[in-house]
Amino acid sequence: MAAPEYPGAAQYPEHLRDQVDRYLESLRFSTEQAAGGLEEAMRYSLLAGGKRIRPVLALATAKAIGREPVWVLPLAGALELIHTYSLIHDDLPAMDDDDMRRGKPSLHKVFGENVAILAGDGLYAEAFALLLSEQQGDPASVLAAARELAQATGVRGMVGGQYIDVAETAPFGPDGLRRLHELKTGKLIAASVGCVLDLGGNLEHETISGFRAFASELGVLFQIVDDILDVAGSAQTLGKPQGSDERLGKRTYVTEFGLRGARRLAAESHERARAVLSRAAGEQGAELSQITDFIATRSY
């Protein structure tokens, strides 16, 4: 249940999520009859629902800098394609070996492991194709956004974090844990805001650094809450079996700081995110503020 101290917990900018869902539904990845099965697999995972936090963040950021949300839909689509690709590859038998995702069988359980690998690969490629083909903006700005997205999802970002998560065996303590999550989850969440700033072009330096500080804090908050939900949430909320991190022996904020400690860290992070957002966006940050509260208070 939503914590009562956050009255905004039930609010989520559903109108932005609807825009994202309609846009994702409209995307086609193949004109070839031949590769139709691959597109079907990609859409199975892409259209499985979810809060669309990353693309909604992008649309809300556009609004917060005084632009129309619809302007960044190609970027928003690219963010969700990449997030979906990361879930597909994370679920593979060689990785976390998860049979369920968003309340449905994982992609590899339905389409096979080979198709799941290629659907992930395809989603990642189509994310860049979409951003580089469809996103409006002057070329230097689109280039900057694509560069940030590539870096956020590479070895110094999402893929590097996933590597540390699945392959590093040495103990590395709280600092290492923060670093893991900053790479694995935080960089893409930060890029969901940051790429819009890249596209925005002529923003003041102080505005940019304010939004970036907010985005970075939001990534931290997201992961702490995710770890709490893994032990304290329900399978229905998670769309996958509860406690799966624990069974895999993963290091989480809960294993490092205990459930109580993790909840305290989440509350502190939430306050910091709100404060820095308020300074950066003022009144225009209403949707970003809703997303922040939603992330902090979802189902615990």
Task: Report the interface residues with a second copy, using CB under 8 A.
Answer: 29-32, 34-35, 37-39, 42, 89, 92, 94-95, 112-115, 117-118, 120-122, 124-126, 128-129, 132-133, 138-140, 142-143, 146-147, 150-151, 153-160, 162-164, 166-168, 172, 176, 179-180, 183
CA 123 to chain centre: 15
Burial of 67 (0-12, 13-18, 19+ CB in 10 A): middle
Least separation in angstroms between CB 73 and a second copy: 17
Nearer to a second copy, 169 or 236 (CB): 169
How many angstroms separate the CA atoms of 296 and 89, rounded? 26
Least separation in angstroms between CB 200 and a second copy: 16
Least separation in angstroms between CB 65 and a second copy: 21
Nearer to a second copy, 38 or 58 (CB): 38
Least separation in angstroms between CB 241 and a second copy: 20
DSSP 185: I
Nearer to a second copy, 111 or 214 (CB): 111
Following DSSP, what letter does each residue of 42-70 receive, concatenated?
A: HHHHHTS----HHHHHHHHHHHHTTS-GG
Least separation in angstroms between CB 108 and a second copy: 8
Least separation in angstroms between CB 199 and a second copy: 13
Q: What are the start-end ranges of the H helices in 47-168?
A: 53-64, 73-91, 107-111, 113-134, 139-152, 158-167
CB 55 within 8 A of CB 76: yes
Question: Does residue 252 sit in helix, strand or coil?
Answer: coil
- Residue that the structure tokens 């900053």 belong to: 182
- Residue that the structure tokens 């995702």 belong to: 101
Nearer to a second copy, 147 or 247 (CB): 147
